[in-house]
Amino acid sequence: MSKRFIVGNWKMHNTISQAETLIRDILSDYQPNPSVELAVAPPYVALPSVARLLASSTMTLAAQNVYAKDEGAYTGEVSPPMLKELGCQYVIIGHSERRHIFGESDQNINEKIHAALHHGLHPIFCIGERLEERESGQTHSVIQNQLQAGLSGLEPKDLKNVTIAYEPVWAIGTGKAATVDQATEIHAVIRSTLTTHWSLDPEQITILYGGSVTADNAQTLFQSPQINGALVGKACLNSESFVKIAECAGLDL
C-alpha cells in the first residue's frame, strides 16, 4: 500500500460560514503528505464554498449522498452530474444512517453506486453489522451479503474505483471503536470476498475503517496492514483532531 485515504464525514454539521472556517483551519494546520489522500464530505449546501477553498490544495471533495437518477421529479434529491460539476470526486453511499434512518435498501445502494461510477464519481461504499448481528455471530455473513448486493452487476474494472468503508454500526458515534483485531478480521473478510467473487488483486482494494475513529486511537488502527485509511465522523469536525488523524495515517509509509 503506497497511500492511505482519510475522509471526514461532517454529516449534518456546519453552516456555510462554519464550513469555510473549518476548512481554512485544516488547510492552515495540515502539511500535505504524498502518502496520504485527505478528503472532506460537507453537507450539500456547503459544497460550493468548500470546493472553492480546496481548489488550490491537495485535498479532495466528497458528497455525503447521491440519487441514482440524472434528473427528474425527485424533490430534494441531488444527482451525480450536479455533484460532478461542483467538483466532487467521491460520494459516500450506503452509510448506516442512510440505511437505518432513511430506509435505503441494498437495491437503492446498488443503483447509486452504478450511477456514481457512470458519471466518474468514486463511491465510498459503507457496510457494517449491528450489535445484535455481531453478538449472534452473523458478522461475516452480513458483510458478505452487503458486499454482494451493493456491488451486484459491477465488473472488476469498476471496483478499482470503489472504496469500501467498514463501519460497524455499534461503533458509530458511540465512542466505542472496534479493536484493531476486530477491524483487521473484517477487513480481511472483505478483501477475501472481493478477491473471490470479482477476481481482484487484494492490493488494489482500498478499505477504510470507520466508527469512533479519534486522534487517540488512529495510530493504533493504522498499524494493521489491512486498514488503508479511515472514514472519520465526530473527530473531523475539529481541525486539530482531524489533522492529527491525517498525520498518523502518514506514519510508517
pLDDT over 60 at 1, yes or no:
no
Q: What kind of fold does domain 4-249 have according to CATH?
A: TIM Barrel (3.20.20)
| 96-141 pLDDT, tens digit each | 999 999 999 999 999 999 999 999 999 999 999 999 999 999 999 9
Give the model confidence (pLDDT) of 181-219 as tens digits.
999 999 999 999 999 999 888 888 999 999 999 999 999
> For the chain, which residues make up each domain, given as ranges?
4-249
Question: Could you give the C-alpha distances from 45 to 28, 54, 229, 245, in angstroms and in order?
Answer: 23, 16, 26, 26
Evaluate if residue 172 carries a pLDDT over 90: no
Least confident segment among 12-26, 65-79, 129-143? 129-143
Amino acid identity at 228 = N
118 belongs to the catalytic site: no
pLDDT score at 253: 61
Mean pLDDT of 74-91: 98
33-64 tens-digit pLDDT: 999 999 999 999 999 999 999 999 999 999 99
10 residue type, one letter: W
The DSSP secondary-structure symbol of 56 reads T
What mean pLDDT do residues 80-89 have?
A: 98
Task: Determine contact, residues 121/80, Cβ cutoff 8 Å.
Answer: yes
Tell me the whole-structure pTM to 2 decimals.
0.96
Strand (E) or helix (H) holding 235: none
SS3 126: strand
Verify whether residue 37 is a known catalytic residue.
Answer: no
Per-residue pLDDT tens for 226-237? Answer: 999 999 999 999
Catalytic residue among 95, 97, 104, 122: 95
Could you say which of 97, 129, 167, 247 is catalytic? 167
Alpha carbon distance 208, 108 (integer Å): 22
| Mean pLDDT on 14-38 | 97
